[in-house]
């Protein structure tokens, strides 16, 4: 199984964020990627770690606005020891904004947990390149590919960053695969995949399904409700499955089988993009679901049994010490 990763992704180190008024160490650490690399390395008979081809700027522009790209480029000029956290979030017409002025970054951002610094653009671009390479590999006939994408992507919208996400990696993979067929994006991260939902809201060739914690209580709060079903010709092509607090693996799998599987089969997709967040883990410091390492294997098995080529794109998962074994369990299940 190919695993796409570039060491340059480790140079981005967000320092802190705020959680309920407290300044905390940023959960999206380089230790997350290192944990996955170590676990994949120990199982080296199964995995082939590769550096992805660089992603062309046109592929990023196909999904994200020029202003967002300009803003990240402006952030590369920040001093090396500084994270910039937007503090002003204007609710005005942004056409008049200046994305080269870092002080206007809040116009392109929806939360206070997603800092910009001099390394953001490089790491986010390589993270997106991993996802694109996984998709490209599938188009060539590989049945399973994994993108060790970090920073994550599923909260990033066309011209908004947030939720630790800058470019929508799963969206990049879906858009790449869409050229050769129908695509389902299955998002198993603890948080609603608002970015991916928004990117494909009006698209009837991409079915987006997200299983997540109740947005009345959990990030991203403003969307992820069952009433969001897609718009225009995309109506019926977005499914939000809001799961109960502290759900365990058995109930999670039951919900997946009852509500996600039938919708996927009815859609008759050619490819599956898995937004593989592992923050549903029982020890995750941010999510509150109760899945075990075994449950990730079982979930992988169920998804693999659909029989579609799968591009698994890493999303969240913040209990870094066990993130690697959980990722490997999921991938082994997918391949079983
Ligand atoms: N420190 C992903 O899993 N707020 N993003 C958390 C607690 C933001 C998570 C507050 C959570 C974003 C990709
Ligand atoms: Zn998450």
In ligand 1, which atom is closest to the CA atom of 191? 3
Check the CA dihedral 152-154-155-160 and report its sign: positive
Residue 175 is part of which domain span?
Answer: 2-64+119-335
The C-alpha atoms of residue 182 and residue 241 are separated, in whole angstroms, by 21
Residue 44: its pLDDT value, please?
74
Q: Find all residues with CB under 8 Å of 123, minimum gap 6, and list them.
A: 8, 9, 10, 11, 12, 150, 151
Q: Which atom of ligand 1 is nearest to the CA of 27?
A: 1
321 within some domain: yes
Query: Total structural domains in the chain?
Result: 1
pTM given for the model? 0.97
Task: Please indicate, yes or no, if residue 77 is contained in any of the structural domains.
Answer: no
Is 194 within the bounds of a domain? Answer: yes
Domain-located, residue 108: no
Ligand 1 pocket, 164 CB below 6 A? yes
- Which stretches in the chain have pLDDT values below 70? 92-96
> Is residue 100 assigned to a domain?
no
Please tell me the predicted confidence (pLDDT) of residue 97: 74
Q: Which helix (H) or strand (E) holds 16?
A: strand 16-19
Nearest Cα to 155, choosing from 123, 109, 88?
109
Neighbours of ion ligand 2 (CB under 5 A): 189-191, 277, 279, 316
What is the distance, to the nearest Å, from the Cα of residue 206 to the centroid of all Cα atoms in its chain?
16
d(CA 146, CA 143): 10
ipTM over 0.85 threshold:
yes
Are 32 and 43 in contact by the 8 Å Cβ rule? The answer is no
User: Nearest to residue 191, comparing CAs of 28, 14, 22, 10?
Assistant: 28
By the 8 A CB rule, do 199 and 68 touch? no
What does the pLDDT read at residue 95?
Answer: 63
Which 3 state secondary structure label does DSSP give 162?
strand
Residue 142 belongs to a domain: yes
- pLDDT tens per residue across span 229-238: 999 999 999 9
pLDDT value at position 92?
62
């Amino acid at each position: 199984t190919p695993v796409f990763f570039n060491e340059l992704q480790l140079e981005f180190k967000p320092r802190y964020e705020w959680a309920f008024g407290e300044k905390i160490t940023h959960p999206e650490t380089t230790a997350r990627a290192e944990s996955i690399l170590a676990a994949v390395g120990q199982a080296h008979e199964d995995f082939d770690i590769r550096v992805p081809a660089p992603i062309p700027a046109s592929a990023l522009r196909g999904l994200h606005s020029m202003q967002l790209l300009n803003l990240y480029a402006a952030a590369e000029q920040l001093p090396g020891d500084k994270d910039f956290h937007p503090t002003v979030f204007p609710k005005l017409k942004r056409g008049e904004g200046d994305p080269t002025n870092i002080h206007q970054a809040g116009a392109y951002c929806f939360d206070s947990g997603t800092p910009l610094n001099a390394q953001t653009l490089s790491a986010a671009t390589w993270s997106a390149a991993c996802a694109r390479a996984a998709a490209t590999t599938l188009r060539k006939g590989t049945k399973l590919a994994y993108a060790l994408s970090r920073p994550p992507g599923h909260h990033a919208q066309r011209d908004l960053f947030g939720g630790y996400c800058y470019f929508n990696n799963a969206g990049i993979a879906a858009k790449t695969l869409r050229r050769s067929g129908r695509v389902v994006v299955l998002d198993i991260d603890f948080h609603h995949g608002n970015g991916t939902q928004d990117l494909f809201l009006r698209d009837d060739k991409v079915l987006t399904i997200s299983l997540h914690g109740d947005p009345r209580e959990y990030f991203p709060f403003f969307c992820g409700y069952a009433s969001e079903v897609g718009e225009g010709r995309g109506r019926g092509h977005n499914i939000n499955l809001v799961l109960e607090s502290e759900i365990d693996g058995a109930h999670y799998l039951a919900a997946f089988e009852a509500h996600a599987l039938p919708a996927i089969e009815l859609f008759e997709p050619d490819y599956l993009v898995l937004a593989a967040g592992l923050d549903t883990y029982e020890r995750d410091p941010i999510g509150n679901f109760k899945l075990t390492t075994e449950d990730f294997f079982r979930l992988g098995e169920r998804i693999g049994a659909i029989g579609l080529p799968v591009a698994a794109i890493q999303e969240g998962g913040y209990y870094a010490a066990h993130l690697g074994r959980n990722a490997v369990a999921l991938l082994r299940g997918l391949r079983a």
